[in-house]
Amino acid sequence: MRATIPSVPGSRAWHGSAAGRLEWTRWPARAGFWRARRPWLAATVVLVATACFSALVQGPQWRESAALATANLAFSLLFVFTGLMVGKEPDQRVTAWALMLAGVFRSVDFIDAWNGLWPAYATVFGGVDRVFGAWALLRYPNSSLSVLHRRYLIALTGWMLAGRTLIAVTSTARWNGYPPSSWWPALVPDEQLSDTLNYVVHAGEALGGIGLIALLVIRLTRTRGLDRIVITPITVAGIAAVIATITSAAIMAFSLSGTPNDAYLIESLVDLGIPLAFLVAALQRLLLIRNVTELTAQVAAGGDISAVRHALRSVLHDPTLDLLDTSDSSLRALNGRAPGRMVSYIRAGQGAPIAVVVADPVLARYRELFDAATAASGLALQNAQLQAKAAQEKLEQVKASRARILEAELAERRRLERDLHDGVQQHLLSITAGLTAAMATTADPAATAALSEAREGLRAVLAELRDLAHGIHPAVLSQSGLGAALEGIAERLPLPVSVTGPPRRLDAAVEATLYFVACEALANVVKHASADSALVAVRAGESVLEMEIADDGIGGVPADGGHGLANHGLANIADRVSALDGEVVIDSPPGRGTRLVVRIPCA
Amino acid sequence: MRVAIAEDSGLFRSSLALLLRSLGAEVTASVASGAELLTSIGGSPPDAVILDIRMPPSFSDEGIRTAQEIRALHPDVGILVLSTYAETSYATQLLETVRSGVGYLLKDNVTDVAALMDSLARVAAGETVVDPAIVRRLLERNRKPSVLDALNERELAVLRHMAEGRSNLGIARELFLSARTVETHVTSVFTKLGLSPSDTENNRVRAVLAFLRSAGS
């Protein structure tokens, strides 16, 4: 039984937890036998009972061919044991019964040794163990038989029972190698007809065997992922068993061997491959679960969701598996794509789901593996989330601290500029004015010359001081804004620069940064670009401020800004801009000018 | 000449007053802010006022705002704004706010006593003065295309001298031309800049503004 598991959060699906405790809320209810409190005790009782039954039904066979009887006993025990094992797997109770019945009926096939009524029974029903075996092979590991498989089993059973009944009613006990004292339904004994029927029926059964091989091979090619790993040994064992059965039937039909018991013995031994294959499949599962350890190691190193998804795909052998975070968009996307898929939620402890696994429903058969894998993924994701959160917090701190440093630097520059302007500059100016006044009061040429020289010296100092103050922080930037300050830069440059200022005043730190960037960039234009003209344009969008500085020079500035001394200016620009969480883009094809665009997010 | 001073730096203020007095000017008021200046010149306005551009209370552009108020109250008082900032934007802002009898001079240049007295006389006479250092920088620049491209070299020289605040007669003396020729050039400048030839005095300011704007942008 497999229902399509709904895709809506909170539905009854698998509820994983990062702590490794996963609940399977829709796990099929199991019959009392499988839920026995002491399963090993129950299994032992069943096996002992099977052994006793097998030994008993074969009875005289032990004298006739102890080897064959032993092989049959082993066959029955191994099949029943395998059935008990397979029955523990989800949805495999039917397979388990088929295996156990195949095992039990193999011994019953040899009940003819008791003579009396039994040779006739064995002649008619001697193939039912094979039907049960075929059933188990076709059923596992699916939860139900396909229509084709069901029809095949019905046809095989019908052919076998009808054909063998016809053989029985057209023959006598003696013709079949039994003592005449045995009971026999010899309704219309006709040796030739019986022989013909014998060939036809067994040829039909052989064809049925070949059909089974075909079905198994077709199914193998159609399975994928974990199922394929599990099915392969079963298919191989099934094919071997069919070949052995056909061979033994052929040996008997054409009497190629002296004693049919040897053929039976070989067939029995080959058939043991089937339960062994089922056990190998179970072992495969254990090995696969061990792979989860690898997954854990793989993703524990702080894998993001795509790394975890990749690991899950590989360890669960499901390339279609998807792992989504629980953001709204991905859950909406999930609603459209989940039909027929298995959806399970990975939770961190008791909290909300942190991820959703959308996987092939065949994985429902590999619960332990799936649970272990998702639990490991949950831990890895939680770990990654915590790391990302810590990194994000750290980043925010660094950003805030950079912004504070920038503001502090700006404030300091403004203070310095004001101090120079209001202090030293005014002081020097007053001295200059005083000297000029003194010059007006004296007619002494020597004194006038000395005063004049001192005054010229002061004027030079004043000019330098004004440039210095402007370089530290242009007062025009604070007072009249970026546009006027950019005009100021343009005026001082030896090439025409078209300036388009922002339409409004901007944040002081942003204005200072853009001003600095423009100074650096235009200085580069003057020094390196051999340009005839340049432009500076500031555009203010709703969420981003953009400043473009372009020239018509030689271009060829490396896009990454390079690391040489010549690009020290560009590195400075990048530093300043990134302090405001902005970005710098340089487009500089050789011979076609340079275009530098700075984008700074604004609230 | 009667001059009033508003300058927040006491040292420079007293030196400037000393200088002006030594040049024969009468300093009617010497105060530290625009507001005080407005109060002190209320009774008997001087011929010209000297304003610092950066004064209390906000230390930004009080000089320009005070100039605007003075012009509103006393249309005939010449206004000379002194600044340490060699920024075209301040000069443009000032000339746009106060249309006539106004000047923008760098403080460094007050030591050029002749230029200082000349500028004071010009603004008192209703003319416009822009610091030669700023004008020079604008002219030296490699300009981009502008309305000024229509002017020939001679007209540009006339306009430059107009910007520095010279009268037609002064320009004629500077360029060694007859007053009549200068007048022809001036009219030609006005026409090329798209100004009506009738309103001569206002046109001088507009022409200078056009000069500052096209050079500065």
Last residue of a domain, one of B100, B131, B162: B131
Q: How many domains does chain B have?
A: 2
With a cut of 80, say whether residue A263 has pLDDT above it.
no
A495 and B142 within 8 Å at the Cβ level: the answer is yes
Flag whether residue B61 sits within 8 Å of chain A, measured between CB atoms: yes
Q: Is residue A331 part of a domain?
A: no
Contacts of B11 in chain A (CB under 8 A): 426-427, 430
Are B119 and B145 in the same domain? no
The verdict on ipTM greater than 0.95 is: no
Distance from CA of B62 to the nearest CA of A (A): 11
Q: How far apart are CA A226 and CA A284, in angstroms?
A: 9
Range with top average pLDDT, A264-278, B48-62, B202-216: B48-62
Query: Burial, B89: exposed, middle or buried (Cβ in 10 Å; 0-12, 13-18, 19+)?
Result: buried
Mean pLDDT on A369-373: 82
Residue A1: the pLDDT is 35
Last residue of a domain, one of A285, A308, A337: A285
pLDDT tens digit sequence for A212-260: 999 999 988 888 777 788 888 888 888 888 888 888 777 776 665 455 6
Q: Is residue B53 part of a domain?
A: yes
Q: At A179, which amino acid appears?
A: P
Residue A162: the pLDDT is 92
Q: Is residue B160 part of a domain?
A: yes
pLDDT tens digit sequence for A9-21: 333 333 433 333 3
Size of interface A-B (CB pairs under 8 A): 116
Q: Which residues of A278-300 are buried (b: 16+ CB within 10 A; e: fewer)?
A: bbbbeebbeebbebbeebbebbe
> Parallel, antiparallel, or unpaired for β A14-17 and A342-347?
parallel
Mean pLDDT on B75-92: 88
Q: How far apart are CA A137 and CA A220, in angstroms?
A: 12
Interface test with A, best of B15, B27, B59, B109 (most A CBs within 10 A): B15
pLDDT tens digit sequence for B133-190: 888 777 766 555 567 777 888 888 888 888 887 888 888 988 888 988 998 898 888 8
Q: Is residue A456 part of a domain?
A: no
- A147-151, A350-354, A466-470, B12-16: least confidently modelled range: A350-354
Q: At A159, which amino acid appears?
A: W
Give the one of B15, B61, B216 whose C-beta lies nearest to A479's C-beta: B61
Last residue of a domain, one of B131, B155, B181: B131
B15 and A533 within 8 Å at the Cβ level: the answer is no
Q: What is the 3-state secondary structure (H, E, C) of A440-453?
A: HHCCCHHHHHHHHH
A475 and B85 within 8 Å at the Cβ level: the answer is yes
Are B182 and B91 in the same domain? no
Are B126 and B190 in the same domain? no
Q: Can you give the C-alpha Rg of chain A in angstroms?
A: 46
3-state secondary structure of A19: coil
Are B76 and B7 in the same domain? yes
Q: Which residues of A11-49 are buried (b: 16+ CB within 10 A; e: fewer)?
A: eebbbbbbeeebebeeeeeeeeeeeeeeeeeebeebbee
The separation between CA A59 and the C-alpha centre of its own chain, rounded to angstroms, equals 57
Are B30 and B65 in the same domain? yes
Q: At A140, which amino acid appears?
A: Y
CATH of the domain at B198: 1.10.10.10
pLDDT tens digit sequence for A88-142: 777 788 888 999 999 999 888 888 888 888 888 888 888 888 899 899 888 887 7
Are B180 and B108 in the same domain? no
Give the one of A418, A487, A533 whose C-beta lies nearest to B217's C-beta: A487
Q: How far apart are CA B122 and CA B78, in angstroms?
A: 8
Q: How far apart are CA A64 and CA A389, in angstroms?
A: 78
Q: What is the domain range of residue B164?
A: 141-216
| Residue A288: closest CA among A260, A259, A318 | A318
A496 and B90 within 8 Å at the Cβ level: the answer is no
Helices H, strands E: what count in chain B? 10, 6
Provide the pLDDT confidence category of residue A563 given band limits of 50, 70 and 90: very low
Q: Any bridge partners for residue B104, and if so which?
A: B81, B130
Q: What percent of chain A has pLDDT over 90?
A: 17
| Residue A246: closest CA among A223, A271, A221, A280 | A271
- A207-211, A404-408, B208-212: least confidently modelled range: B208-212
Closest chain A residue to B89 measured between Cα atoms? A484
Residue A547: the pLDDT is 95
Residue A27: the pLDDT is 41
Flag whether residue A442 sits within 8 Å of chain B, measured between CB atoms: no
Q: How far apart are CA B145 and CA A103, in angstroms?
A: 103
Flag whether residue A448 sits within 8 Å of chain B, measured between CB atoms: no
Closest chain B residue to A436 measured between Cα atoms? B111
Last residue of a domain, one of A267, A285, A303: A285
B85 and A476 within 8 Å at the Cβ level: the answer is yes
Q: Is residue B136 part of a domain?
A: no
Residue A159: the pLDDT is 92
Residue A257: the pLDDT is 47
DSSP letter, residue B80 = E
Last residue of a domain, one of A234, A269, A285: A285
Contacts of A494 in chain B (CB under 8 A): 141-142
Contacts of B61 in chain A (CB under 8 A): 479-480
Find the angle CA(A60)-CA(A68)-CA(A48) to the nearest 5 degrees. Answer: 75
More confident residue, A258 or A524: A524
Q: How many domains does chain A have?
A: 2
Flag whether residue B91 sits within 8 Å of chain A, measured between CB atoms: no
Distance from CA of B107 to the nearest CA of A (A): 7
More confident residue, A4 or A303: A303
Q: How far apart are CA B28 and CA B20, in angstroms?
A: 11
Flag whether residue A426 sits within 8 Å of chain B, measured between CB atoms: yes
With a cut of 80, say whether residue A468 has pLDDT above it.
yes
φ, ψ dihedrals at A332, nearest 5°: -65, -40
Give the one of A459, A466, A487 whose C-beta lies nearest to B216's C-beta: A487
Are B16 and B97 in the same domain? yes
Q: How far apart are CA B53 and CA B59, in angstroms?
A: 8
pLDDT tens digit sequence for A277-331: 888 887 777 777 777 767 666 665 656 778 888 888 888 888 888 888 776 566 6
Q: Is residue B54 part of a domain?
A: yes
DSSP letter, residue A5 = P
Are B118 and B25 in the same domain? yes
Q: Is residue B97 part of a domain?
A: yes
Q: What is the domain range of residue A579?
A: 481-601
Distance from CA of B141 to the nearest CA of A (A): 6
Give the one of B9, B59, B141 whose C-beta lies nearest to A426's C-beta: B9
Q: Is residue B103 a contact partner of residue B122, using CB atoms and an 8 Å limit?
A: yes
Q: Is residue A271 a contact partner of residue A102, using CB atoms and an 8 Å limit?
A: no
Q: What percent of chain A has pLDDT over 70?
A: 86
With a cut of 90, say whether residue A600 has pLDDT above it.
yes
B93 and A480 within 8 Å at the Cβ level: the answer is yes
Last residue of a domain, one of B104, B131, B158: B131
Q: At what angle do helices A128-139 and A191-222 cross, to 10 degrees?
A: 10
pTM of structure:
0.55
CATH of the domain at B85: 3.40.50.2300
Contacts of B138 in chain A (CB under 8 A): 491
Are B91 and B194 in the same domain? no
Q: Is residue A329 part of a domain?
A: no
- Give the strands of the sheet with A353-359, arranged side by side: A23-24, A14-17, A342-347, A353-359, A322-325
Q: Is residue A222 part of a domain?
A: yes
Q: Is residue B159 a contact partner of residue B175, using CB atoms and an 8 Å limit?
A: no
CB atoms within 10 A of CB A355: 27
Distance from CA of B179 to the nearest CA of A (A): 33
Flag whether residue B120 sits within 8 Å of chain A, measured between CB atoms: no
Residue A154: the pLDDT is 93
Q: Which of residues 153 through 192 in chain B touch A, CB cutoff 8 A?
A: none
CATH of the domain at A597: 3.30.565.10
Closest chain A residue to B113 measured between Cα atoms? A436
Q: Is residue A225 part of a domain?
A: yes
Q: Any bridge partners for residue A16, and if so which?
A: A346
Closest chain A residue to B16 measured between Cα atoms? A433
Are B123 and B40 in the same domain? yes
Q: Is residue A200 part of a domain?
A: yes
Mean pLDDT on B102-109: 88
- A151-160, A550-559, B71-80, B136-145: least confidently modelled range: B136-145
Q: Is residue A294 part of a domain?
A: no
Flag whether residue A430 sits within 8 Å of chain B, measured between CB atoms: yes
Q: Is residue A419 part of a domain?
A: no
Closest chain A residue to B144 measured between Cα atoms? A496
Distance from CA of B180 to the nearest CA of A (A): 34
CATH of the domain at A78: 1.20.1070
Token duo for residue B162 = 């107009």
pLDDT tens digit sequence for A7-66: 333 333 334 333 333 333 344 444 444 455 677 888 889 999 999 998 888 888 888 888
Query: Burial, B156: exposed, middle or buried (Cβ in 10 Å; 0-12, 13-18, 19+)?
Result: middle
B14 and A430 within 8 Å at the Cβ level: the answer is yes
B216 and A491 within 8 Å at the Cβ level: the answer is yes
Q: Is residue B72 part of a domain?
A: yes
Mean pLDDT of chain A: 81
Interface test with A, best of B108, B110, B142 (most A CBs within 10 A): B108
With a cut of 60, say whether residue A462 has pLDDT above it.
yes
Are B7 and B112 in the same domain? yes
Are B127 and B166 in the same domain? no
Closest chain A residue to B55 measured between Cα atoms? A422
